[in-house]
A and B are shown apart, each in its own frame.
Chain A
Amino acid sequence: MTEHIAVAAGLDAESADWPRALACTGPRREEALARLHEMLVRVARGEVARRGPRLRLTGPELDDLAYQAAADALVAIISKLGQFRGESRFTTWTYKFVIFEVSAKIGRHFWRHPDVRLDAEDWERLPDRFGFDPAQEAEWRDLLAALQRAVTEELTARQRRIFVAIVLNNVPLDTLVIELGSSRNAIYKTLFDARRKLRAVLAADGYIDNDCMGSS
């Protein structure tokens, strides 16, 4: 804690005071915990309200989710207090935890939802997923057939499973994280590699340009 306070010495006074108050004992700590919890609930409620219109969740469920996210974020923040390095205001650092908790809880909600299908391969959905106009099918039919072929023949089993779940079945990535017992980073990396491979195949067949972004 001594090292932490020394690092935070260049911060604004409020950000420097938060970790000290939360690390001490007695009424000062209790007051800081109550204030932090109140702040986290406010941010969580704002975040679920922001995401609410796109979720199949109603008012009381959203409120429950917000309170659970705030409570879990508070536990995480206290356990990681020593990791606050003063690179942002303390409150900004804490908001990050509650936003992540909201994401994780939304992912868990969809995991429990009976409509979520991970492995069903309904390729008829593909044009709609990318917004291809059915009236112009003659223009994109070959492209999507080539894409389906590349998914089937070029991707690894894991890449294919993740592509099918996320692209065809519209499963949220955070839900897939829970389903596969993986991490957001690992799922994203798998899909990243799959996207790059598919682009290369479609470019080699002359369907699209192979202009990956970046210099290396």
Chain B
Amino acid sequence: MNGWSALDRFLRTAQSDVGCAEAMQMLHIYAELTAAGAPAEQRYPGIAAHLRACGPCGEDFQGLLAALHSEKD
């Protein structure tokens, strides 16, 4: 990714973005759907938009997903 596309991506804001509070509230449900291979993004597009844009919430989501996957190891 070059500087232009990185800046462009940073400045993009999705109207559907639900924000941190709602994403954190629903994260266990969203992560479990994702881990099960269900279409979580389609069911909760506002959470998906938020997790793409918010570094800390995205990191928490990846951590929760990793915990769920580790159960299978």
- A94 nearest CB neighbor, chain B only: B28
Chain A proximity mask over B21-42: 1 for CB below 8 Å, otherwise 0: 1001001110110000000000
In the complex, what distance in Å separates the CA atom of A199 from the CA atom of B71?
Answer: 43
> Main SS of chain A's interface residues?
helix
Residues of A within 8 A of B12 (CB): 195, 199, 211-213
Residues of A within 8 A of B11 (CB): 195-196, 198-199, 202, 208
Check A89 against B32 for contact (C-beta < 8 Å).
yes
In the complex, what distance in Å separates the CA atom of A103 from the CA atom of B59?
Answer: 9
Interface contacts (Cβ under 8 Å), in number, total 125
> Main SS of chain B's interface residues?
helix
Chain B's interface size range is 35 or more
Check A47 against B28 for contact (C-beta < 8 Å).
no
B32 CB → nearest A CB, Å:
5
Check A185 against B15 for contact (C-beta < 8 Å).
no
- A188 nearest CB neighbor, chain B only: B20
Q: Does A215 contact B (CB under 8 A)?
A: yes
Check A185 against B10 for contact (C-beta < 8 Å).
no
In the complex, what distance in Å separates the CA atom of A127 from the CA atom of B60?
Answer: 28
A113 CB → nearest B CB, Å:
17
In the complex, what distance in Å separates the CA atom of A199 from the CA atom of B17?
Answer: 17
Q: Which of B16, B19, B59 touches A185 (beta carbons < 8 Å)?
A: B19
Number of interface residues of A (CB under 8 A): 48
In the complex, what distance in Å separates the CA atom of A211 from the CA atom of B12?
Answer: 8
Contact A88 to B32, CB < 8 A, known contacts A47-B67, A95-B67, A131-B1: yes
Q: Does A184 contact B (CB under 8 A)?
A: yes
Check B60 against A100 for contact (C-beta < 8 Å).
yes
Check A174 against B56 for contact (C-beta < 8 Å).
yes
In the complex, what distance in Å separates the CA atom of A9 from the CA atom of B73?
Answer: 28
- A98 nearest CB neighbor, chain B only: B67
Considering the complex, which residues of chain A in the window 145-198 have a beta carbon less than 8 Å from any beta carbon of chain B? Answer: 147, 167, 172-174, 183-185, 188-189, 192, 195-196, 198
Sample (7) of A-B pairs whose CB atoms are under 8 Å apart = A46-B67, A47-B67, A92-B32, A131-B6, A132-B3, A184-B24, A208-B8
- Which 8 A-B pairs give the minimum distances between C-beta atoms? A214-B15, A132-B3, A185-B20, A199-B11, A213-B14, A185-B21, A130-B6, A96-B28
Interface residue ranges, A against B (CB under 8 Å) = 42-43, 46-47, 50-51, 87-89, 91-93, 95-96, 99-100, 102-103, 127, 130-133, 140, 143, 147, 167, 172-174, 183-185, 188-189, 192, 195-196, 198-199, 202, 208, 211-216
Known: A47-B63, A184-B57, A192-B53. 6 other contacts (CB 8 A): A103-B63, A130-B3, A140-B3, A184-B20, A192-B17, A199-B12
